[in-house]
Amino acid sequence: MGRLVLKNVSRRFNGVIAISDLNLELKDGEFMCLLGPSGCGKTTLLRLVAGLDAPTEGELFLDGKKIEGVNKECGFVFQEYVLFPWRTVKGNIEFGPEVRMDGKEEREKIAQHYIDLVGLRGFEDHYPHELSGGMKQRVGIARAYANDPKLLLMDEPFGALDAQTRNLMQTELLRIWETEHISALFVTHSVDEAVYLSDRVVVMSARPGTVKEIFRNDLPRPRVRTSQEANALRDAILRSLGAEIKRAQSK
Amino acid sequence: MKKGYGRKEFIINILSLVLLVILWHVLITLARNDIFNAPFIRLKDVPTPLETMNAFAGSLFAQTYGPALTYGIVDHVQASLERVIQGGIIAFIIGVPTGIGVGYSKLISNILNPVIEIVRNMPPMAWIPLAIFIFVAGGSIFIVFIGMVFPIILNTVHGVRSTDVRLIDAAKTLGASEAQVVTKVVIPTAFPSIIAGLRIGLGVGWMAIVAAEMVIRSPVGLGYFIWNMGDLGRYAEMVAGMLVIGVVGYIMNITILLLQKRFIRWVD
């Protein structure tokens, strides 16, 4: 479960073409990273998949079902965490089960499971403003998982973290992802992050955004960030991406 | 800018009050002995702090003179507070849903805004003559309502409109319906503003009730008490009543601020 298909997807905003005729397929259980110059429509693409926005043309399918309206099978993880500030860690994670009207016992069981999974035991009753950035994003990930999604959508989830916390969170994310294996679409600006995390890396073109090149990444996990193969892949991706960044800037 | 409230701040606050009382005493005493008199003001007739305190103590509780009963300050405060609370509850029940509607729905906003913008600029006092002839009873409660409802509406609107759209997106992707977005995202976001509106509204309501009681006569109420004492030339009691208004208003404000701190723990 968690097969995502995008067919000839375009999105225009008042005459500006953000995404143009984009075709992409995410295999079941695959971890895919999206790279591209700023403004190439990566976030727009995630919002289309989440059903928070609708394509101007084309269709999106999740497990063969057309995405229309808000897609409740997706777990969205935001860059700035976007936690509910008036809810505790537990309250945030329980949000999904709560709006789905799960019973209290069931809710608490789910919440506790994901609190343990992301390593937040002991912080259940803390409010978001009492947590560090890394811990906030653990809550964000747990909250998305608690809704039992078929697909994780992550919009630069570690972009606001310092370099060390970022590396740690990447490792943590892989650990969590390997425990509860679901498809993941991960937007990032960091080639290093993409090479470390993903099964495939999609480089998008400068606006109007579309798929420029796809890199397979079969390096065995756990990956060594500085291995020769990783470096070679990074080099190839950087070259492809660099050309697009140049194109975006010359416009 | 603002750091905690410690011993030093407390001492300064108390000193400033003591200084004010001393200044008050000195000014009146000087005027009474014809040593210094401020121009255009009959300071002589103003009671001293001590006279005011005595008057306060003497009229604190109800007294009976044969068959006649005079209410004490305690009764007046209670009567005024009751009216403010009654008017406040009605203002809250009407103001909060109105504010949520106006803040969240463009259509409701377009329908109600002209009315709100005009009516809120009519001071509560301007409604008193109307209230006297349209209400058989409870005219002063209506004045409190008018004073309180607009701060509550406007603050609720402000709170609702400050909702982070990303939180709404997050709630939607987690499966929230449109109604759940309102109850679980918009209202919690607006909650601190709603309480702030209630606090500001109470201040306005407290001022409005005293004014209303001066005109809409009933035998109890602080406004009535002050007006009556002034009429009778019992200025010490009158000033005592004025001070009571200030102190009670202050206590109401502080109480809500404390409740706010206690119940809104998520704001740092």
Closest CA relative to residue B223, chosen from B125, B129, B148, B133: B125
The separation between CA A238 and the C-alpha centre of its own chain, rounded to angstroms, equals 20
Chain A contacts of B167, Cβ < 8 Å?
Answer: 82, 84
Q: In chain B, which among 126-165 make CB contacts under 8 A with chain A? A: 164
Give the residue from B165, B174, B177, B186 with the most A CB atoms within 10 Å of its CB, the best one to mutate: B174
Each residue's pLDDT tens digit, B125-182: 999 999 998 998 889 999 999 999 999 999 999 999 999 999 999 999 999 999 999 9
The average confidence (pLDDT) of chain A is 94
User: Which residues of A are less than 8 Å from B188 in CB distance?
Assistant: 84, 86
CATH topology of domain B68-263: MetI-like fold (1.10.3720)
B172 near A CB under 8 A: yes
Q: pTM for the complete prediction?
A: 0.86
Chain B nearest-CA distance from A204, in A, is 25
Mean pLDDT is highest, among A84-88, A205-209, B130-134, for: A84-88
Which residues make Cβ contacts (< 8 Å) with residue A199, sequence separation at least 6?
Answer: A30, A31, A32, A216, A217, A218
Whose CA is closest to B98, among B52, B149, B165? B149
Amino acid at B156: T
Chain A positions in Cβ-Cβ contact with residue B164 (cut-off 8 Å): 82
Q: Which residue on chain B is closest to A144 by alpha carbon?
A: B174
Give me the long-range contacts of B123-129 (CB less than 8 A, separation at least 24): B124/B204, B124/B208, B124/B211, B124/B212, B125/B208, B125/B211, B125/B212, B128/B211, B128/B212, B128/B215, B128/B216
Q: Is the bond preceding residue B49 a cis peptide, omega within 30 degrees?
A: no
Tokens 């808000």 locate to A70
pLDDT tens-digit series, residues A39-64: 889 999 999 999 999 999 999 999 99
* pLDDT for A232: 95
What CA–CA distance (Å, rounded) separates B196 from A139?
30
Q: What's the CA angle centered on B48, arms B45 and B52, to 5 degrees?
A: 100
The model's pLDDT over B137-152, given as tens digits with 9 standing for 90+, comes to: 889 999 999 999 999 9
Spans of chain B, pLDDT less than 70: 1-3, 268
CA distance B95 to B202: 13
Q: What number is the average pLDDT over the span A214-221?
A: 94
Is-contact B42 B30, C-beta < 8 A?
no
Q: What is the DSSP-derived secondary structure letter of residue A209?
A: B
Could you tell me which chain B residue has the CA closest to the CA of A48?
A: B173
Structure tokens that stand for A49 in this block: 């998949």
Predicted pLDDT at A1: 64
ipTM: 0.92
CB–CB of B174 and A99 under 8 A?
Answer: yes
What pLDDT does B137 receive?
A: 84
| Residue ranges in A155-205 assigned as alpha helix (H) | 163-179, 191-197
Count residue pairs from A and B with Cβ separation < 8 A: 64
Q: How far is CA B8 from CA A69, B12, B18, in A?
A: 60, 6, 15
* Site from A68, A73, A78, A99 to mutate, B interface, most B CB atoms within 10 angstroms: A99
Res A248 pLDDT > 70: yes
Task: Give tens-digit pLDDT for A110-164.
Answer: 999 999 999 999 999 999 999 999 999 999 999 999 999 999 999 999 999 999 9
Q: Does B117 touch chain A (CB under 8 A)?
A: no
Other Cβ atoms within 10 Å of A182 Cβ, number: 20
Residues from chain B that touch A98, judged by Cβ atoms under 8 A, are: 184
Q: A146 to each of A77, A107, A108, A109, B236, how far by Cα in Å?
A: 12, 9, 11, 10, 68
* A86/B166 Cβ within 8 A: no
Show the tokens assigned to B205: 């309501």
Helix extents (H) in chain A = 42-50, 89-93, 95-99, 104-117, 133-145, 163-179, 191-197, 228-250
> Are β-strands A74-77 and A151-155 bridged in parallel, bridged antiparallel, or unpaired?
parallel
| pLDDT above 80 (res A2) | no
Please, which pLDDT band fits residue A175 given cuts at 50, 70 and 90?
very high
Element (H, E) at B202: helix B187-215
Contact B172 A75 (CB under 8 A): no
Comparing C-alpha atoms, which of B241, B249, B243, B254 is closest to residue B75?
A: B241
Q: How far apart are CA A10 and CA B112, in angstroms?
A: 40
Give chain A positions within 8 Å (CB) of B172: 52, 70
- Show the tokens assigned to B65: 């003179």
d(CA B118, CA B116): 6
Q: Among partner residues B167, B174, B264, which is closest to A96 by beta-carbon distance?
A: B174
Query: What 3-state DSSP class applies to A214?
Result: strand
